[in-house]
Structure 1
Amino acid sequence: MQNTNMFDNITTAAVITSVIDIIIVWYVFYLLFTVMRGTKAIQLIKGIFLILVGRAVSNFFDLTTTTELFDTVLEWGFLAIIVIFQPELRRALEQLGRGSLFKGAPAGAGTDYDQMREAIIKSVRYMAKRRIGALIVFEKGTGLKEYTETGITIDANITAELLINIFIPNTPLHDGAMIISGDKINSAASYLPLSDSSKIAKSLGTRHRAAVGISEVTDAFTVIVSEETGSISVTYGGKLDKELTLEELDELLKKHWSVLPGVKEGGGMFARK
């Protein structure tokens, strides 16, 4: 009888509200996992899970001191997370602010975009064939001003010949990253933050580690040509894709590179134009 009354008190509206509540919570966790996937923060999630399991077990067996220890770790661990994982948290908030967590990357624009993309493919083909190392960063929503300022300002149109000449070995600008903003080569010989991810193979050099590093702290899309093997790789969202064909690179450029104006210095309605 009591069970019958309990179910009678559950209305359709309450069930729908509970389902929506659960879906929202799971979607938020999914977005956080998407942002952190491929970064060192994913190890943090595993650590937190183990701590929660340990806390539950110690509480079940009434281990008072151990339970208090886990509680202290959880209480002060929040501040440690903010300090240690500031790059990942900043990237997540930036993506939330410009809405990129909920929508795909914008597309390119017109014939000029096709010509510039062809210039990128042509230069990468030339450098890969001759094993000329290259690191090309495409700015998206997150501004890269702090990194362009570490290099030499170029502010030139995108052409295959210029891209190739910049990365020719033993020239002043070949060492470092080229940063492309919109439809312009913004800078060359720029310094990027190096990733300390343990997932990066030891055989990969500084270019690949720098490319992963910039993709961990911004939404930039990066193309790498290996000096040792001539293989083509890309990074985005902390993810590294290796040994791509030119056709695959072209498809990724269409997906991740936009030359539309007005997407500068943080993106969104507060972008500086």
Structure 2
Amino acid sequence: MPDSLQLFGWRDLVDITLVTFIIYRVILLLKGKVAARLLLILAILGTLYFLTSLVGLDTLHWILRSLFGSFIIILVIVFQHDLRRALVSLGRSGKERDYEVEEASEAIDGLTTALADLSARRHGALIVIEREMGVSAHLQTGTEIDAKITSEILTSIFLPYSPIHDGAVVIQRGKLTKAGCFLPLSQNPAISKSLGTRHRAALGLTEVVDAVALVVSEETGQMSVVIGGKLMPMPDGGSLRKALKRLIEPQWLSS
């Protein structure tokens, strides 16, 4: 048996197991809330740094010693958007917060009303709602606008005789910012051939960014929410409103 295997003992096994477990737990923590995960990660690292020194787990202690000095800087860089939103949120008064909640609710109502109206008329529509990842780099052409989200504006944009009804409307930071935009089409061969250009564009964009896309089929009037390259049909306005509140309201309130 090689010398390296003969020297492999129970401490080495525990050492490797702990390293694997910690990496796994850190990945899971990234899905939690920023304040909790930052504190927990730092607490775990600090505790393990001293424990590994006491019991002689050299591999893990060396990794922690190498990373601990720069770990705080890494966390600040990785979670800079979360930290910025948290600091901004702390500076808001109760009245400002109430106003933002009301404004977000009105915007979601406007989106829901507009899509339900367009669905009833069977007017095709495509709306892109930006979240964490920017969408501007993926847009082609388009007309710059700066408007509040209302059902009247959205409905008028997608009327068949509107010069920009064929493109997508883009919502950024809770406002209408662009209209008549063309998006990259999905190249996924598994997509149903029955889906039209609007659906393929919504799928194509959401495959590369975390945006939410809303689609109304011109042929059937079916409303759909598209996220992560997946199409979710919405049977009615109530279902659409619930989906929007879950997917975009927290983002708008924290931006």
Mean Cα deviation higher: 238-247 or 13-22: 13-22
1:26-59 CA-partner distances (Å, limit 9, x unpaired): 9869x9xxxxxxxxxxxxxxxxxxxxxxxxxxxx
CA distance in 1, matches of 2:108, 2:138: 23
| 1:118 CA drift (Å) | 0.5
Percent identity at matched positions?
38
Structure 2 counterpart of 1:155, from 138, 146, 150: 146
Aligned to 2:207: 216
Give the aligned partner of residue 10 of structure 2. Answer: 10
Please name the residue that 1:38 is paired with.
Answer: none
Q: CA deviation at 1:260?
A: 4.0
Q: Are residue 24 (structure 1) and residue 23 (structure 2) matched? A: yes
Q: Match of 1:219, as an amino acid?
A: D
The residue correspondences of 1:1-273 to structure 2 (distance < 5 A) are: 9-11=9-11, 14-15=13-14, 17-21=16-20, 24=23, 97=78, 109-147=100-138, 150-257=141-248, 258-260=251-253, 262=255
8 Å contact from structure 1 (residues 147, 190) kept in 2: no
Give yes or no for contact 2:168–2:181 (8 Å, CA) kept in 1: yes
Shift in Å, 1:261? 6.9
Supply the distance in 1 between the matched residues of 2:184 and 2:120 (Cα, whole angstroms).
28
| CA distance 1:146–1:248, shift in 2 (3 Å) | same
Q: 1:189 and 1:171 mapped to 2: Cα distance?
A: 10
CA distance 1:99–1:223, change in 2 (3 Å): farther
Residue pair 1:98, 1:141 contacting (<8 A) in 2 also: no
Q: C-alpha separation between the residues in 2 aligned to 1:113 and 1:179?
A: 16
Distance 1:229 1:217, change over 3 A: same
Cα distance, 1:176–1:252 mapped onto 2, change above 3 Å:
same
Give, in whole Å, the separation in 1 of the partners of 2:202 and 2:136.
Answer: 16
Q: Give unpaired runs (5+ residues) of structure 2.
A: 1-5, 31-76, 82-97
C-alpha separation in 2, matches of 1:98 and 1:145: 22
For 1:147 and 1:244, locate their aligned partners in 2 and report how far apart those are by CA, in whole Å.
Answer: 29
Does the CA-based 8 Å contact 1:182-1:261 persist in structure 2? Answer: no
1:61-95: CA deviations, max 9, x gaps?
xxxxxxxxxxxxxxxxxxxxxxxxxxxxxxxxxxx
Question: Does the CA-based 8 Å contact 2:234-2:240 persist in structure 1?
Answer: no
Shift of 1:140: 0.8
8 Å contact from structure 1 (residues 223, 233) kept in 2: yes
In the alignment of these two chains, the number of paired residues is: 185
Q: Measure how far apart 1:259 and its partner are.
A: 2.4
**1:143 deviation in Å?**
1.5
Any stretches of 5+ residues in structure 1 without a counterpart? 1-5, 32-95, 101-107, 263-273
Supply the RMSD in Å over aligned alpha carbons. 3.2
Cα displacement (A) at 1:15: 2.3
Partner-residue secondary structure (3-state), 2:122: coil
Partner secondary structure for residue 242 of structure 1: strand
Once residues 99 and 255 of structure 1 are traced to their aligned partners in structure 2, the CA distance between those partners, rounded to angstroms, is: 23
Equivalent pair of 1:148/1:186 in contact (CA under 8 Å):
no
Residue 241 of structure 1, CA deviation: 1.2
CA distance in 2, matches of 1:153, 1:215: 21
Offset at residue 155 of structure 1 (A): 0.9
Please give the alpha-carbon distance, in whole angstroms, between the structure 2 residues aligned to 1:193 and 1:172: 20
What is the CA deviation profile of residues 91-123 of structure 1, one whole-angstrom value per residue up to 9, with x for unaligned ones? xxxxx95689xxxxxxx9411111111011110
Distance of 2:179 and 2:103 partners within structure 1: 22
